[in-house]
A = this chain, B = another copy of it.
Amino acid sequence: MKGLFGMKLLEERILQEGQVRPGHVLKVDCFLNHQLDVELLDKIGEEFYRIFQNDGINKILTIEASGIAIACLAARHFKVPVVFAKKAKSKNIDGEVFTSTVHSYTYGKDYDITLSKKFLGPQDKVLIVDDFLANGKAMRGLLDVCQQAGAQVGGIGICIEKGFQPGGAQLREEGYKVASLAIVDSMSDDGLTFRAQ
């Protein structure tokens, strides 16, 4: 699965504006998950399209909230719909749903994700996208939902992978096509190092 997956523009932006916080937190809220640089997200979406355009993707799957922005800008290039898993059971979801339980390291607790059954099925080949991949717990929830739906996973597109945590390596070992546009191999107050890829 080696390939030209790194995205210099994103790495540079992380170096310029990312902030390292205790507990391996990398804050990129200036452009990726609180304030959103839509021009950059559009380039990220274009890059995911370059990587996954021949993989038969007919739907982009993500999880609220930050993933939605990335999924929407990618979907423009693929010309496919987005569906996003919700983090709390909404009163406005009726009918049958897929659910999966996800452990959050950030909050130290479990939460359920929910996806309406009518939006994912055996006819779907999805690209799963998200802003971060670290331990991969949220990704496991999305993969679980895909398995319940009988949907194929055509690829996994991540903006920033924490390469020193095990999520990405495990997914690649299992044979998933994982493209992380920036892989942070180490981070400290002194700076970041990115994996060459």
Contacts and interface: CB of A to CB of B under 8 A. Distances in A.
Interface in A135-163: none
Contacts of A76: 38, 42
**Residue among A69, A115, A116 with max Cβ neighbours from chain B (10 Å):** A69
Given A27-B92, A36-B83, A72 B75 contact: no
A15 interface: no
By secondary structure, the A interface counts as mixed
A29 B81 CA distance: 12
A38 B92 contact: no
A5 B38 CA distance: 25
Interface residues of A, number: 40
Interface string A102-131: 000011000000011001000000000000
B91 A34 contact: no
Contacts of A94: 21, 27
Given A29-B93, A91-B107, A92-B106, A35 B69 contact: no
A9 interface: no
A42 B64 CA distance: 19
Contacts of A42: 76
A82 interface: yes
Given A64-B65, A65-B64, A72 B36 contact: yes
B116 A29 contact: yes
Interface in A23-51: 25, 27, 29-31, 33-39, 41-42
A73 interface: yes
A107 B27 CA distance: 31
Nearest to A116: B34
